Amino acid sequence: MRRHPPSGPRKGNGPSPAGRTAPGRRHQVIEIKPLSGRRMLAVYLLLASALGGLALRLAWLQVIDGQRLQARARAIQTHAVSPLGLRRTIVDRMGQLVALDEERFTLWAHPRYFNLPGDDPQAIRRSEDVVARLAVVLARPRQELLKLIGNRQTGVKLATGLDPDTAQRVRELGISGLDLEGYPQRIYPQGQLFSNVVGFLNLERVAQAGLEQSRNRDLLRQETTFTMRRGADGTPLPDGIQAGSLYGDDLRLQLTLDARLQQVAQQALVRQVKQWNAKRGAALVMDARTGEMLALASTPSYDPNRFWRYNPGLFREWSVQDLYEPGSTFKPINLAMALQEKAIDPKGTVHDVGQLSIGGWPIFNNDHSAHGVIDFPTVLQVSSNVGMVQAMSRVKHDHFWKWLHTIGIDDVPDTDLPGAVAGQLKSKAEFVGSPIEPATAAFGQGFSLTPLKLLQLHAMLANGGKLVSPHITRGLRSGDALASRGDVRGIQLLDPKITRIVINWMESVVQKGSGKALQIPGYRLGGKTGTAQKALNGVYIPGARICSFVAVLPIEDPRYVVLVVVDEPQGGNAYGSTVAIPVAKQIVEALLVIEKIPPSLPLAAKVSKSRG
């Protein structure tokens, strides 16, 4: 029997005997068989169907559903920015701020997101912890803030009207869950000073009165709703902003009013109205050459920053919208018309007998005295009603009515002052057919106008007979630039030589007559007092008066007209000379300084000569 050698590890690097494998290794032999044609066709059809479906889907998305998807994408990628409704700034003629928009903030709280700096991002702080820090910045009691929050988890309005500094301190707290929402708020830095002409915006930023309302379109800044595209992270993409979308103008509406003179007029008027326990008062200053109003003050007034605290009746400027009978302040205008008609001679006289009876109606002087034969300067000095009736009786009644109509008594003044109204004048037939109508009109009663209209008519005397339009705005100007005076347009109604005569007569009123209290050393001033009965619905109110005074300066070169009207002053000594002149004098003194008006040369020379 043959023995085989024992098996064991094989030494050497030779190949293993055929048919054997190394320990731990196995080989699997797979038999390769050709695929059947059916299987290949099935795979091909499956892939072709998938590609065909993708192609059809792609065609559907791009061709059929493309516009809808594009619109949806644009809605996600674009952001519409609506205008804030910002308004242009208003400044006075020297550039002082009168009205402007400032940014204010509303503070919202969302307690479910409360988190303090340094906290775990997932932690939610108690409202008490947040309020403890916030109350210090807002200067409000903690309990008040906690009461506002209550158990609500979001959308709690904690404060509104926060100024930028307070809003910044809230941001610096770094508290999550607090949201500041900015909005513009109209601010009136001068308070009550210009409220009677500028007006205000209500809490919804809707213009309610004054220039804010009448010039609303001009005061709205140029803003448009525009869209911008945003990237995936919200970054604005410049190609999504249309050209000109971000343009913002810096135009300002410039007034002709001077804040310095306005303040003097306002303070003087308030003191006098209080002293005489009057119902109201108004003071107006106008450049007779250009029609620019330098001051238009009235009392009582209101603060446009807190308009809700005041009676809405104060929101209208009565000197522009309310009618009254001007009384004796209209006498110089009547005399100018009589001179223009050549009905009276500048050196002529009238016989003041103290009382007349016209159509059964008695007419007498205010002091119930007769002044005898007097010239026309004296008629103005003593304010003779009888003398005026005699003078104007020389003017044909239809011509008298025509003049009152020509100078615009019954027309709305051409002005940018909001709410201006026409005066009231009897019809021509009624005026001509009743003798009492021309007689009462001779001394400024029986018809009515606004203080603004009376100011315009006296400016006509001061500027040589030209009727110019009173206005309080110079227009829109860019940035801090101030506008120059525009071209003056007016209607020449009276001969300059005639108005020169009447202005000199008005100077005599200040030198010798009822206007002596206006005298200022070194200056030639003219004026006329007025104390008229007050009518309501055509019936005179017993004891009710309107005291007024109109001043013209300087006489040698008339430029400015000042009108003061005080409604229903109380007391037996309430006259234009006692009630209105003190206000007018303070305004004139300030005007001389502000406008740098030099002393009148003739008087200055006379004073120097007397001292020598």
Where do the CATH 3.40.710.10 domains begin and end in the chain? 259-304+323-472+498-611
**% of the chain exceeding 70 in pLDDT:** 86
End-to-end CA distance of the chain: 177
Spatial distance between the Cα atoms of 410 and 404, rounded to a whole number of angstroms: 8
Confidence of residue 34 (pLDDT cuts 50, 70, 90): confident
Could you tell me the sign of the dihedral formed by the alpha carbons of 363, 365, 366, 368, in that order?
A: negative
Confidence of residue 611 (pLDDT cuts 50, 70, 90): very low
Q: Which CATH superfamily is domain 259-304+323-472+498-611 in?
A: DD-peptidase/beta-lactamase superfamily (3.40.710.10)
Per residue in 498-539, pLDDT (tens digit) is 999 999 999 999 999 999 999 999 999 999 999 988 877 777
Spatial distance between the Cα atoms of 550 and 451, rounded to a whole number of angstroms: 10
Residue 546 pLDDT: 94
Where do the CATH 3.90.1310.10 domains begin and end in the chain? 102-187
Spatial distance between the Cα atoms of 372 and 350, rounded to a whole number of angstroms: 8
Residue 234 pLDDT: 54
DSSP state of 87: B
Is there a contact between 375 and 388 (Cβ–Cβ < 8 Å)?
Answer: no
Q: What is the mean pLDDT of residues 434-459?
A: 95
Confidence of residue 568 (pLDDT cuts 50, 70, 90): very high
Structure token digits, residue 170: 């809230």
Residue 612 pLDDT: 36
Per residue in 449-467, pLDDT (tens digit) is 999 999 999 999 999 999 9
Active site residue 548: no
Q: Does the pLDDT value for residue 10 go beyond 60?
A: no
Residue 166 pLDDT: 93
Give the least confident one: 6-10, 205-209, 330-334, 554-558: 6-10
The domain over range 102-187 is classified in CATH as 3.50.50.60: no
Residue 243 pLDDT: 53
SS (H, E, C) 492-540: ECCCHHHHHHHHHHHHHHHHHCCCHHHCCCCCCCEEEEEEEEEEECCEE
Q: Does the pLDDT value for residue 595 go beyond 50?
A: yes
> What's the mean per-residue pLDDT of the chain?
86
Spatial distance between the Cα atoms of 561 and 454, rounded to a whole number of angstroms: 10
Per residue in 88-106, pLDDT (tens digit) is 999 999 999 999 998 889 9
Residue 18 pLDDT: 47
DSSP track, 414-453 = --SSTT----B---HHHHHH-THHHHHHHTT-SSBB-HHH
DSSP track, 338-380 = HHHTT-S-TT-EEEE-SEEEETTEEEE-TT----EEEEHHHHH
Nearest CA-CA partner of 529 in 566, 479, 500: 566
Residue type at 11? K
Dmax over CA atoms of the chain, in Å, equals: 187
119-128, 491-500, 528-537: which is most confident = 491-500
Residue in 127, 214, 301, 328 annotated catalytic: 328
Residue type at 312? P
- Identify which has the larger pLDDT, 107 or 61: 107
Provide the angle, in degrees to the nearest 10, between the axes of the packed helices 331-340 and 496-512.
140
Residue 232 pLDDT: 57
Spatial distance between the Cα atoms of 392 and 364, rounded to a whole number of angstroms: 15
